[in-house]
Structures are given as structure tokens and as C-alpha cells.
Amino acid sequence: MCGIVAYVGGKDCASILVDGLRRLEYRGYDSAGLAVHTGRGVDIVRAVGKLNNLDIALQKTPLKGTTGIGHTRWATHGRPSEANAHPHVAGDIAVVHNGIIENHVALRRALEGKGVRFSSDTDTEIVAHLVDEAVRGGESTLAGAVRAALKQVTGAYAIAVVSSKKPTEIVVAKAESPLVLGFGDGEMLAASDIPALLSHTRDVIFLQDGDMALLSREGVNITKLDGSQVTREKKRIDWSPTQAEKGGYKHFMLKEIHEQPRAIEDTLRGRLDVQAGDVVDEELGITEALAKKINRVYFVACGTSAHSAMAGRYWIEQLARIPSTVEIGSEVRYREPVFTENDLVVAVSQSGETADTLAAVKAAKAQGATILAVANVIDSAIPRASAGALYTHAGPEIGVASTKCFTTQLAALLMLAIGLGRRRGTLSASEARRLVDALSKVPHQMREVLAKADEVRHIAKRHIRARDMLFLGRGTGFPVALEGALKLKEISYIHAEGYAAGEMKHGPIALIDSEMPVVVICPRDVHYEKTLSNLQEVKAREGQLIAIATEGDRDVARMLVPDEAPRSSSWRTSVTQLEPDVSLIEIPSAEPEVLPLLTVIPLQLLAYYMADLKGTDVDQPRNLAKTVTVE
């Protein structure tokens, strides 16, 4: 999310910066801006909306100069507006930033205490003021001032900084958000991603976390934040511009599946208090009074978001002991539902614009319910209609089929349940600590699952001729089964059904024969034994089994292939294809509550590879839209 471009060299840079930003459009944005050193000082032009608006603004106020920084902003703190658009200015300093400053509340208070006046709601402006403060404090180099500022900052960032006093310098720095340097002829560039550089150079350096770089026409000096010199290897990029946009992945969907560990880190950032065993109040907007007053949680959502809401319901009931219900937006709006002032309506929506969800929100609000939005797009219609918003910070999702937005919604909803549980006294600090700890491990565990992508591809290949598929799960594995089936039908056009495994005997079992692939989600949780029986039932009917189980689960192995499992000691990590019709995908052992964040990943990959092998348009499946603003 957000795009940064920086240029220092011999050419007029405004058009170079805008062109670079255009090549980063796929990252999503809602406003844009430039800061260029004109020879007399740094001038700024910003505009809300698409880059064409910035072009128009630049026609009115041309920026002439050969050193500059540009930015497209995807709102995270503060609504999309010209005042919140980057660059942000303090004294001689202008800053663009991608990421989230975790300690922004404390830093802002401290700066305000010293008399600093802010002109935006952003966390980025804090960085500009901190750099300016260092300059005023006597720091003579731009690199030194940025270093002093960043020492106070925690969080994820890629920044680029220019100063009125330094006409031929740009300082950039990176922690967790991406930043690539490009080496031109008598010019240096920096950008959030390679596509912005390709028309100028193919020679790049990927900065690493904790790196800072001083860019000038002559080249670059890279140091760590503490000032110590580092050398980074220059690489030559031979990707086409489209390949570069997708980070080398074949489709945005695959890229977004692989982005999930980072997306979850962004969702959790600054919101977990591991020591206290709690989630941070300020961000979540759950006051004790609100938590205590609620006597029902009513989720409204559509599509994938309705599946994460279903998991949210399990957690709210289990951890906060509040009766909860989930309804899809299109049903609520015409059902004349009854809401009360003691209802908390949680509207889950990636886009924040889905018409049916919005209509349900309005109906609930009219009856006095409190509305909380769980959304990805800041300041979109649903958060605006709500009393509070819990943003998922997944970044823009380009693939129509939702992946990282689903798992970040799960993380947000689990945090909400923990927060409500603590404030209502239904969840002890030690239990909350267990959950917070489990959540913080998820990104790492997701990486372990993603490392098995190739194995999942092999499994997909085996089932490519399937006409129907069944997905079964219990507890929070049920919404995961629904989501697995939805992913498959959305992008591969293979008919798929998700079922609560306990319902299998009430119908779907009639479908099972040797032609039918059946995915059974059976990790080690409270439902494990029962789901194993389902597995057995599928096997007895010669269904083609794909089991999602916990790593090292020998019981599942014995059940899948009775003779095979005990013979090999290494089978647990090496075998996924146990028999022609039996596959096993293992996920790391984890606390039961976070399992859906892991078990869904093989299902996303399975759907992706089946669709790709069939040759469908994965990122833009037929008849589907990413955001549905009509009924």
C-alpha cells in the first residue's frame, strides 16, 4: 500500500515522479503528491483522487527542479484529503512515507506538548516534525537529522526526505516496508517497487530493514540507522514491466496469498499487548462501558467477509460470552430485523462499500444499534456510517477473489473478541496472553504453510478434472470450508460446496463416490475426533481425500494409509500424496483459535492452482466484481 518515488539527477523530475507513481497505481491509492526542490526551496503539490487530478494541479502550479519525491497514499491514519496527502512538511523538511508508525499517539502528544502544531491527521507528519526538530537542534546533515528522528520511531516504514537547505540530496530509509534504489546515468532513483524504475534503469539495490541511504547525482551512500556503513549487492532486473508489478508472481492473487504474513503483521501492529494479555484499547475503540452494555453481537457481511464474520461469531461467543449471530447483508435489508440499543452490529467489509452491507448498517443504525465497521479501505462508506472502525490494514487487494483480506479480517475479529472478553471479565489475563501470543506467531506459521505451495500445486494437478468438490470442517473450520469452496468456484468455475462436517450425514454424503474430491479440515482442535470420523466415512466411500491436518499427526496418517504410516519415520514432512486418491497437507501446530488463519491458506492455493492449470482469468474471474455497490 502507498507508493514512493524519489529522483535526484540532471532532468526535470516532476514528470519522472508522476510517471513512476503511475506504474505503482496497482498498489492502490486515494491521493497523491510531489515535493520538488525548485532551486529556491521545496515546493509541494498534492491532490485527492487519481493521478490525473495531480496532473491538473501540476498544470496550475508547475514544479521545476531536478530533486524531488512523490507519493501515492492509501489512507491508514486520517481520511483521504489534500491535507492528509503526502508529502508532509515541517520547517525546511518534506517527507513521504509508506507504512504505519506504531508509537504515533505517544510521539504526537510529546510533540504537541512542545508546541508543535499539526496540519494533518497522519502519522507521517510526526516524522517530518521529528526531522525538523533535529535540524533545529543543530544537526547539520540531512542524514543525521533523519537518523535522530527514526531512533524515536517504532513501526513499519519506508520514507524519503528532502530539505530546502539541501538541493541535491534525498535521504531514504526502510523498516519492513519495501524500498528499492535505482542507478541511472548521473541520477539516482528510489521507489516502493521495481516498475517505477524500469524506464530509467534495471540496476537496483533492495534496501534491507534498518537501512538508510543518502542519494545524490553521484550515487548512494548506504548506512545502518546507527550510521555504520553497509554494502548491498547491486542486482540486474530482467522482468517485464507487468511481471514487475506482480513482484514476479504470475497473478496478483498469488502475490496476495503470499503477502498474508506481512498483511497480518500490519493488522496486528501496535494492537497486541503481550505482557498485559490484552489488545490495545485506543485502536479498537472498545470502551469498558460499551463492552458491558452489549447483549448481542450481530454481524452483517457478504461473500468472503461473511465467512470471516462466522468465525468472529464463534470467538465472540467463546471468549466474550455474548450471544452472536451472522447474517448476509442482502437478507437483513429486507427482513425487517429487530435491533436494540444494546446490540453491537459488526459490519465486515473489505471495500467498505458493499451496497447490501451498507443498507443493513443503515437499518440497524436507525433502530439505535451501535455499529462497528471492520474494513480495509479507510473512510469508505461503511466505516463512515459506523460509530467506530477497526481497520484491517491489509493494503490494496487487486485480485477479485479475496485472500489476504479474509485472513486479516480473521485477525481483527479475534482481537475484537479478546478485547470484549477482557472488558467484560469473561476472559482471564492468562487466557488472553495465550491468544495474543498465538496471534503473534501466525505470520511465521503462515510462512511455513506457504512454503508448501508447490506440494499443493501437485495436488491441484491431480484433481483438475473434478466437476464438483466438497469442503468439510467443524467449528471455525466450517467457515474455512465455506471459504475454500467459494474460492474454488469463483476462480476455477468448478462447482464446490462447503459444509459443516456434522451435516455430511444429512445430505452431502450421498454425493461421495470415487470421482469426488473431498477436502476435510481436521487440525488438532476440540472437534478433531469427530472430524476424523468424517474422514473415515469419506474414505469408506472411496472419495478422493485431501486432508488438512496438524503437522506430525500420526492418527490421521494411520487412518489415511493404515499400512504406510508406521513404516517410515520421515513420512510426516515428506509425504503429501499418500495414495493415488489420498493427499495430506500439514499445517503447523497452533492454538485452536488461530487455526483458521492457517488452514485456509492451502485452500486458497488449491483454488489458485486449479484455476491456473485450467487457464481461467484468475485475477478477474468472469461475472464477478471486486466491489459490489449495487443490489
Q: Please state the three-class secondary structure of 336-366 as a single string.
A: CCCCCCCEEEEEEECCCCCHHHHHHHHHHHH
The smaller minimum CB distance to ligand G6P, of residues 30 and 278, is found at: 30
**Min CB(10)–ligand G6P separation in Å:** 45
111: left (phi over 0), alpha (psi -120 to 50) or beta: alpha
The smaller minimum CB distance to ligand G6P, of residues 101 and 302, is found at: 302
**Min CB(496)–ligand G6P separation in Å:** 15
Three-state DSSP class for 402? Answer: coil
The smaller minimum CB distance to ligand G6P, of residues 489 and 524, is found at: 489
For the chain, the helix, strand and coil percentages under 3-state DSSP, each to the nearest 5 = 40, 25, 35
The smaller minimum CB distance to ligand G6P, of residues 165 and 626, is found at: 626
Chain residues 342-381 in contact with ligand G6P, contact rule CB under 6 A = 349-351, 354, 357
The smaller minimum CB distance to ligand G6P, of residues 1 and 400, is found at: 400
**Min CB(475)–ligand G6P separation in Å:** 22
Q: What is the DSSP letter of 470?
A: E
Binding-site string for ligand G6P from residue 586 to residue 625, where x marks contact by CB under 6 A and - marks none: --------------------------------------xx
d(CA 158, CA 209) in angstroms, rounded, equals 9
The piece of 50-58, 334-342, 395-403, 540-548 that touches ligand G6P (CB under 6 A) is 395-403
d(CA 519, CA 384) in angstroms, rounded, equals 39
Q: How many chain residues interact with ligand G6P (CB under 6 A)?
A: 17
d(CA 278, CA 164) in angstroms, rounded, equals 44
227: left (phi over 0), alpha (psi -120 to 50) or beta: left
Among 305, 392, 445, 492, the residue binding ligand G6P under the rule CB under 6 A is 305
**492 scored as a contact of ligand G6P (CB under 6 A):** no
Question: What DSSP assignment string belongs to 16-53?
Answer: HHHHHHHTTGGG--SEEEEEEE-SSSEEEEEEESSHHH
Phi, psi of 65 (to 5 degrees): 170, 170
The smaller minimum CB distance to ligand G6P, of residues 363 and 556, is found at: 363
Max Cα separation, the chain? Answer: 80
Find the length of the chain.
631
Binding-site string for ligand G6P from residue 399 to residue 438, where x marks contact by CB under 6 A and - marks none: -xxx------------------------------------
The piece of 21-29, 128-136, 153-161, 298-306 that touches ligand G6P (CB under 6 A) is 298-306
Three-state DSSP class for 431? Answer: helix
The smaller minimum CB distance to ligand G6P, of residues 434 and 626, is found at: 626
The piece of 264-272, 396-404, 427-435, 470-478 that touches ligand G6P (CB under 6 A) is 396-404
**Min CB(481)–ligand G6P separation in Å:** 16
Q: Pairing mode, if any, of strands 544-550 and 582-587?
A: parallel
d(CA 199, CA 186) in angstroms, rounded, equals 15
Question: CA-CA distances (angstroms) from residue 227 to 63, 138, 211?
Answer: 33, 17, 9
The piece of 102-110, 147-155, 394-402, 586-594 that touches ligand G6P (CB under 6 A) is 394-402
507: left (phi over 0), alpha (psi -120 to 50) or beta: left
| Active-site position among 2, 302, 405, 522 | 2
The smaller minimum CB distance to ligand G6P, of residues 8 and 302, is found at: 302
Give the position of cell 485472513.
407
- What is the H or E stretch that residue 404 is in? helix 404-424
Of all residues in the shown chain, the one whose CB is closest to ligand G6P is: 303
Residue 155's DSSP bridge partners are 101
Among 304, 330, 492, 599, the residue binding ligand G6P under the rule CB under 6 A is 304
The piece of 96-104, 119-127, 181-189, 397-405 that touches ligand G6P (CB under 6 A) is 397-405
Asked if residues 492 and 614 have their Cβ atoms less than 8 Å apart, the reply is: yes
Measured in Å, how far apart are the chain's first and last C-alpha atoms? 29
**Residue 530 designated active-site:** no
**550 scored as a contact of ligand G6P (CB under 6 A):** no
| Active-site position among 224, 362, 614, 626 | 626
**Residue 626 designated active-site:** yes
Three-state DSSP class for 629? Answer: coil
**Min CB(380)–ligand G6P separation in Å:** 9
The smaller minimum CB distance to ligand G6P, of residues 174 and 404, is found at: 404
Among 68, 70, 261, 303, the residue binding ligand G6P under the rule CB under 6 A is 303
The piece of 107-115, 299-307, 310-318, 578-586 that touches ligand G6P (CB under 6 A) is 299-307
Which residues of the chain form contacts with ligand G6P (CB under 6 A)? Answer: 302-305, 349-351, 354, 357, 400-402, 624-628
Active site residues per annotation: 2, 626
